[in-house]
Amino acid sequence: MLSIQNEYHLYLKFEKSLSENTILAYERDLSKLLEYLDEAHIKPEEAKLEHLRDFIVEISDIGIHPRSQARILSSIKSFYHFLIYRNVIEEDPTQLLESPKIGLHLPEVLSINEIDRIVAAIDLSKPEGQRNKAIVEVLYGSGLRVSELVNLRISNLYIDEGYMLVEGKGSKQRLVPLSPQAIQQLELWKYDRNMLGIQKGHEDTLFLNRRGKGLTRAMIFTIVKDLAEKAGIQKNVSPHTFRHSFATHLLENGANLRAIQQLLGHESITTTELYTHIDVQYLRQTILEYHPMNKK
């Protein structure tokens, strides 16, 4: 006997005559919801409107772009239309589920090509070149907030283990995995950093300016905007753009929602006990497996 997912696959292929790529996209998006419901011990045919709304809140909370949210919602609605068609359910729980509003002031998402262009725009012959490359790698490779970036301490880097200790909102600390690329760029920056005359009180600050003092949030914004301009990126790019792209790219490449949420240091109204016990090694594996920079 075929599972409901297998029946849905055949429905999309033969009833809807969709291409294999479109079917894969539908099924990948649907898997996010099924994973979420499974953790809550809810069968998909038993899901109510409030469960689906909580799911939409969750993917919004982790910073997924509304356009990606809208695509996921479309996939979910297609699945529940199928369940109605198959007489598995009588009422469609997605009927009152609203699409996210796509406004003019939403954070941009950079493509992989645009990320590569920004990295290529960094002039490594300049004293600040290696520092800026490490900054971009940490922002995009680990999804940090700009405030978390400027507060990074050398003593909180655990290079051998592949992690860094980050202090987020409300002084809450979390372990964030470092990709091999981030580790490489940080090691090169630490070498350049040792050449600076480091000011008193900044001995442990990771990212410094040429005068040996810690960088400010405003300086990070300037660095990022200058690089985007040099790369010919027309989008409104800020440090948060890298964080937003980090989350969106992980999701679109198949990463677990709970893991992305933990990596970003977000809390949700739908947080479960299982979520709070996600293993740190699993989070590191999530970045290594699903972050596009590690799949090249």
pLDDT tens digits, 142-187? 999 888 999 999 999 999 999 999 987 777 888 899 989 999 999 9
Handedness of CA 38, 40, 44, 50 (dihedral sign): negative
pLDDT of residue 295: 66
Burial label for 114, CB within 10 Å (0-12, 13-18, 19+), is buried
The residue among 124 and 272 whose pLDDT is bigger is: 124
Identity at 50, one-letter amino acid code: E
Report the mean per-residue pLDDT for the chain.
84
Numbers of helices and strands, H then E, in the chain: 13, 3
Look up 48 and say whether it is catalytic: no
Please indicate, yes or no, if residue 97 is contained in any of the structural domains: no
Say if residue 116 is in the same domain as residue 246: yes
Query: Which stretch of 17-26, 37-46, 78-87, 197-206 has the lowest confidence by average pLDDT?
Result: 37-46
Look up 145 and say whether it is catalytic: yes
The domain that holds 282 is classified in CATH as 1.10.443.10
Average pLDDT for 126-136: 96
Please indicate, yes or no, if residue 235 is contained in any of the structural domains: yes
Say if residue 10 is in the same domain as residue 131: no
Average pLDDT for 78-96: 92
The residue among 286 and 148 whose pLDDT is bigger is: 148
Say if residue 149 is in the same domain as residue 288: yes
pLDDT of residue 101: 59
pLDDT of residue 218: 82
Residue of 43, 169, 210, 235 marked catalytic: 169
Instruction: Name the E strands within the chain.
Output: 157-158, 163-167, 173-177
Residue of 9, 117, 225, 275 marked catalytic: 275
Say if residue 194 is in the same domain as residue 255: yes
Distances (CA, A) of 164 to 125, 142, 144, 175: 28, 10, 11, 6
Say if residue 39 is in the same domain as residue 175: no
Please indicate, yes or no, if residue 107 is contained in any of the structural domains: no
Domain of residue 139, residue span: 112-294
Residue of 145, 193, 244, 291 marked catalytic: 145
Look up 81 and say whether it is catalytic: no
pLDDT of residue 40: 75
Of 36, 70, 85, which one is at a domain's C-terminal end? 85
Residue of 213, 232, 209 whose CA lies nearest to 132: 209
pLDDT of residue 273: 30
Highest mean pLDDT among 30-39, 51-60, 106-115, 121-130: 121-130
Average pLDDT for 218-227: 90
Residue 203 has pLDDT above 90, yes or no: yes
The residue among 284 and 13 whose pLDDT is bigger is: 13
Please indicate, yes or no, if residue 102 is contained in any of the structural domains: no
pLDDT of residue 104: 37
The domain that holds 29 is classified in CATH as 1.10.150
| Residues 169/265, Cβ–Cβ less than 8 Å | yes
Please indicate, yes or no, if residue 101 is contained in any of the structural domains: no
Number of domains in the chain: 2
Look up 85 and say whether it is catalytic: no
Taking phi over 0 as left and psi of -120 to 50 as alpha, with beta for the rest, 223 belongs to alpha
Residue 270 has pLDDT above 50, yes or no: no
Say if residue 67 is in the same domain as residue 169: no
| Residues 19/11, Cβ–Cβ less than 8 Å | no
Q: What angle do CA 204, 206, 209 make, to 5 degrees?
A: 105
DSSP state of 216: P
Handedness of CA 63, 67, 68, 70 (dihedral sign): positive
Number of Cβ within a 10 Å radius of residue 251: 24
Residue of 28, 81, 230, 266 marked catalytic: 266
pLDDT of residue 63: 63
The residue among 285 and 245 whose pLDDT is bigger is: 245
Assign 164 to helix, strand or coil: strand
**pLDDT tens digits, 228-264:** 999 999 988 888 889 888 888 887 787 877 788 888 8
Residue of 243, 244, 249, 284 marked catalytic: 243
The residue among 96 and 108 whose pLDDT is bigger is: 96
Average pLDDT for 76-83: 94
Say if residue 252 is in the same domain as residue 137: yes
